[in-house]
Structure 1
Amino acid sequence: MFEAAARGCGLDLRGGGWAIGDSPVLDVEGGRAAGLATLWVSRGKEWPTELAPPDRTVADVVAAVEVLLNEDAGR
């Protein structure tokens, strides 16, 4: 799914990137399987203990944007 979406936008995931979302399975596990860094927007929920944790966890979308801006500034 991630590869198809990237191709549709003219992008290549081999250069890396982020998978961001609120679904531990669809967003985080899917992103990890595609080789992306993962950022989970928890929205007050607990991470499922049976899954490997995401690279980053934030409470809301505003915090997710802050992470991305800070990560980009560090490059």
Structure 2
Amino acid sequence: MEKLTIFFNKRTGTIKSYCTGVQSMDFFGDEQEDYSLIFDFILVDYDPFVIQNIDNFQVIDRNLKIKQSAVPEQYL
């Protein structure tokens, strides 16, 4: 099964970047050490909905979650 690598801010859970396939912090090249201080990454199953709506997601406790603000109040 294809994967997505999601890079996120450790403190806020905000998604910084993503790429298809399995990656590591090497994704950031020479800046890897610096980025590792602020960002981390998780692997999730490939999902086109996530890619098309990446701004509506965040990482909470190392899990990809849809932001509550992205769901209309009538569905909460």
Q: Tell me if both proteins adopt one fold, taking TM over 0.5 as the criterion.
A: no
Q: Which structure dedicates a bigger proportion of its chain to helix?
A: 1
Q: Which entry has the higher C-alpha Rg, 1 or 2? A: 2
Q: Which has the higher contact order (CA 8 A, sep 6+)?
A: 2
TM-score (norm 2): 0.28
Higher strand share: 2
